[in-house]
Amino acid sequence: MLQKPNKVEGESLIQTELKLARDLRMLCDATGKEINPFMSAPILNEIGLIYRKRSPDKLNLIRSAVLLNAAVARQPSNAKFQTDIKEICSYLLQVAGTHKNKTDLVKISKQVKVKIQQMRKEAKEKLGMLTEIPYKITDDRFKKLAENKIEIVEGLQNMITEKYKSIMEYVSAECQNIMGTPPCRFNVTGMGSLARREITPYSDFEHIILLEEGVQHKSDYKKILEYFRWFSVIFHFIIINLQETIVPSVTVPSLNNSTNSEHNWLYDFYTTRGVSFDGFLVHACKFPLGRTEKTQKKPWTTELIKPVSEILKYLDFEVALKNGYHLNEVLKETCFVFGDRKLYDDFERGRFEVQNTDAVLYEFQRTKQLEDDLDNFSMDKLNNLFGASSCNIKRVVYRSFSSSFNVVRLLQKEGRINGDTASGLLFALAVACEVRLKVYMAKGRQDDCLDKGETFRDWVSDIRMQVIKIVGERSMVECMNVANQLQMFLGMLKSNQCQLLDTKLIIDSSFYSKLEAIMLLGCNDRVIKEWNDRHKKQLCANDYLNPYVCFYVVSAYILSGKYQEALQIFMCFENHPIQSNRNVNFTVMIQKATCLLRLGKCKEAVEQTNRAKREIASTDFADFFLIPTLYNIAGQAKCQLGFFHEALTEFRDYFKCPFHKTIPQNHLYTVHSLIYVGFCLMELGKLDSAMHKARQALELSKQIKSVCILKSYRLLSECYFRKEKYKGSLEYAEKALDGVNKIRDSSIAKQFEIEKIKALIKACKEKLGYDNTACA
């Protein structure tokens, strides 16, 4: 049997691992994604074998299994790789001292895979029953369709939950059968989305092992613990052999060391992320072995194989602060999976008593939950999608609702919410679950990211339209409206404007309440249509008194490129005694300046930005997020007026702005600013500096997949032309023209001044002596 390596052998293994890691990194791109997974497979296999030699350490055995399976995922027909997996499985059963040490773990994994595939097939069929809800329907019709969606999604989630639990029960039984008669009563208890009945067919399995009370006082307690530790490792292996555990999740020090950025670089794209255990990261580790590796900030371990009373201590206020709130949170809702049912019932009774008798813990949980929910429900996540190249649907949609169908129904039963509010919450939950399920099922993996794509045609699109397309506009608007109102409600609770027990959440579905959700989803045409319909029906009288309606309606017209119409809306609002609101007044000034700029009225735009600056000087707007936009617009206007030095001053103020420092450097406004700084420098004869800014803007445009790349091309073309490097100028001008021709939306295309690009191409060809007929 293989012995744990001595110090000298250990040092040699470390050096070999580091060399292999360097070799693997050479086969990856800048993001850590393998360029050719077939070529990287042997290296992953070799690193896996190194961790095999570091056994019988349990974590290293698990890491070895993950790496060896990652190699097979990249070369499925490699017989040597498959033999290595079978060998380490056999070795595990030997070192674990199992009762049945000849068991074929790979065969069990294949049986589990069949069960998982059947679960996914059934889930996909049921998802197909969901149809898009039309936007314009009567309230009664929407109510019926909403109830139908809730019924289907909740039924689907229940089906997946029961199937998933059944699979984990099967694996637990196999582990017990392999290990032999357990030394005491025990229970496998599920947590997280499984306990909330919101798990997906690609989710990880968060769980603990409960032991019977009193076992901790037995003389052979350490031996008892070892039984269940090896039980958990065997469970790990069976799940890992599904080849759905990504390498970064087990934090291999040379590849994904979370405490050392230099050694945290591998992005495992080629292992399908699906059914697996929770990861080894410090904030994760929600599996029986728990956090076994100490860190500088947390120099202790957190094992989750304990008697009931010991597990209940994690609910204690002081222990919760020490170990991190997340473990305390997931223990609040659990489910029975396998083992002694009475033991689980004892734990549930103890959990209920702790949570309902510890006033300090209750207040801590309440405050922490409010903070987490305010972050989760934040509409800023939607706002940040403007101009973004990707969207994490788990963060933006699913985590907007940290509740469950059962909790909502309980709140209604207790009279804490009325029927309409309950219906709104249940529908929002159903939509959130539907979105996550559809994305995972379509990708065939646990992957929360929606991406614009790699072609330029994809870059023209708004990522928010991809989000809406999943379930339809009406469903997404209703869902985000609920999230927005939850945020406002929780904000009131946190600021102590109302008491939790005395306050009822009421979901408003009126035009006013939905307007922000519609806007932040990027449905500009919908806002305009709703506004025009209300105008025709003469329902706008009260709208004119609401400053936020003015802001959202005008924003919709501006973002649709209808600047003249936006100015007319301003006039309508100014003829009514609009409620005074400094923030909205400031925003309106920015919006007016934007319209004037886009209409070519640059002098008036500058005057409008000067008014806004006087408004800033008269009040405290130090951190207000629109200040950078003000400097950006002022800079663009002055650039177009030919005041290049003054424009550069405006852009310098933009980059100095406090808010600018809190946003990513690839923000759309930053790209715009870089391009206009480049144009100013070009006009001032500083061509090299201008080209440097153009290239910066070009790289940032690529990162956020923005059509602003066309302006970078044009700026580079003009700089090359002035340098009399006509071939370079022609190359970039033709790239710009090709891009503009691919834009189908004329309101977007016209801002790139296609005639000027064509004139530049013509001038280049004349200088080079080329035929100009093609350009004409």
**pLDDT tens digits, residue range 140-191?**
999 999 999 999 999 999 999 999 999 999 999 999 999 999 999 999 999 9
Q: Higher-confidence residue: 440 or 258?
A: 440
Instruction: Please give the radius of gyration of the chain, using alpha carbons only, rounded to the nearest integer.
Output: 30
- Confidence (pLDDT) at 381: 64
Res 581: pLDDT: 61
459-516 per-position pLDDT tens digit: 667 788 888 999 999 999 999 888 888 877 777 766 665 555 456 677 777 777 788 8
Nearest CA-CA partner of 235 in 178, 292, 164, 162:
178
Query: Could you tell me the two tokens for 476?
Result: 């997404």
Query: Which backbone phi and psi does 689 adopt, to 5 degrees?
Result: -65, -40
The larger pLDDT score, comparing residue 589 to residue 476, is at 476
Give the pLDDT confidence score for residue 749 in this predicted structure. 72
The pLDDT tens digits for 185-225 are 999 999 999 999 999 999 999 999 999 999 999 999 999 99
User: Domain 664-776 is of which CATH architecture?
Assistant: Alpha Horseshoe (1.25)
DSSP β-ladder status, 207-211 and 390-392 = unpaired
CA distance linking residue 335 with residue 196, whole number of Å: 8
pLDDT for the residue 115: 98
Q: Is residue 186 helix, strand or coil?
A: strand
- The model's confidence at residue 561, banded by pLDDT at 50, 70 and 90, is confident
Supply the pLDDT for residue 394: 86
| pLDDT attached to residue 375 | 60
- HSE on the CB side for 213, CA within 13 Å? 11
343 CA to centre of own chain: 37
Structure token digits, residue 382: 């939607």
Q: What sign results for the dihedral spanned by CA atoms 636, 639, 640, 643?
A: positive
Q: pLDDT at residue 623 above 70?
A: no
H-helix or E-strand spanning residue 187 = strand 186-190
Predicted confidence band of residue 1 (pLDDT cuts 50, 70, 90): very low
> In 10 A of CB 618, how many CB atoms?
9
Q: Which residues contact 134 (CB under 8 A, 6 or more apart)?
A: 472, 474
Domain ranges, ordered by start, for the chain: 7-357, 361-522, 664-776
Selected residue with higher pLDDT from 283 and 668: 668
Query: What's the angle, vertex CA 660, arms to CA 696 and CA 513, rounded to 5?
Result: 120
CA angle, 625 then 604 then 560, to 5°: 60
pLDDT attached to residue 776: 44
Model confidence pLDDT, tens digit, residues 10-21: 678 889 999 999
Percentage above 90 pLDDT, the chain? 56
Q: What is the mean pLDDT of the chain?
A: 86
Instruction: Quote the pTM value.
Output: 0.87
What share of the chain in percent tops pLDDT 70? 84
Phi, psi angle pair for 193, to nearest 5°: -65, -25
pLDDT > 80? residue 293: no
| 104-108, 299-303, 537-541: range with lowest mean pLDDT | 537-541
Q: What is residue 298's predicted lDDT score, i.e. its pLDDT?
A: 67
pLDDT for 710 equals 92
What pLDDT is stored for residue 34 in this prediction?
96
Compute, in degrees rounded to 10, the torsion defined by CA atoms 726, 731, 734, 738: -170
Long-range contacts of 716-720 (CB under 8 A, 24+ apart): 716/691, 717/757, 717/760, 717/764, 718/682, 718/760, 719/678, 719/682, 719/687, 719/690, 719/691, 719/694, 720/691
Phi, psi of 511 (to 5 degrees): -55, -40
Q: Is the pLDDT of residue 48 over 90?
A: yes
- Rounded to the nearest 10°, the torsion over CA 76, 77, 81, 87 is 100
> What span, in angstroms and rounded, lies between the C-alpha atoms of 764 and 171?
70
- 686-718 pLDDT, tens digit each: 999 999 999 999 998 888 888 889 999 999 999
- Give the pLDDT band (50/70/90) at residue 365: low
Contact call for residues 671 and 700 (beta carbons, < 8 A): yes
What pLDDT is stored for residue 666 in this prediction?
Answer: 45
> Residue 126, class by beta-carbon neighbours within 10 Å (0-12 exposed, 13-18 middle, 19+ buried)?
middle
Predicted local confidence at residue 576, as pLDDT = 60
The answer to whether residue 280 scores a pLDDT higher than 70 is yes
**Phi and psi angles of residue 538, each rounded to the nearest 5 degrees, phi first:** 55, 45
User: pLDDT value at position 588?
Assistant: 81
Residue 43's identity, in one-letter code, is I
Q: What is the per-residue pLDDT across 407-438, written as a single tens digit (0 to 9) for each?
A: 888 888 888 788 888 999 999 999 999 999 99
For residue 387, what are its two tokens?
């101009």
Mean pLDDT of 72-80: 97
Main-chain dihedrals φ then ψ at residue 706, nearest 5 degrees: -110, 145
Average pLDDT over residues 661-675: 71
Q: How many CA atoms lie within 13 A of 734 on its CB side?
A: 12
Most confident of 65-69, 447-451, 702-706: 65-69
